[in-house]
Amino acid sequence: MRKRFHVYFSGSVQGVGFRFTTVRLARRFPVTGFVRNLASGKVELVAEGEEKTLQEFLKAVREAFRDCVRDVETEWGSATAGFEGFGIKF
């Protein structure tokens, strides 16, 4: 079943290539969505795909930035098919 997650990463997550690395990681998975920096200093990640695929994608992002991320807030919901591809939102 297709799902959507909405994740907020906090810690030293801006200015470390988080968005570009996340896009590169997303290419390995059949997911759609976006990643962007927030004025609060957090990084927001929204993705849609099969639940297992999303879990693997999130794990890959967390592992890539394990030394930078202090906290992760994750909300799960139903997919809306509102994205084409995966990219950086400015």
CB 71 within 8 A of CB 62: no
Q: What is the DSSP letter of 17?
A: S
The one catalytic residue in 4, 27, 37, 70 is 37
What φ, ψ does residue 79 adopt, rounded to 5°?
Answer: -70, 145
The reply to whether 19 belongs to the active site is: yes
The one catalytic residue in 2, 19, 24, 36 is 19
Active site residues: 19, 37
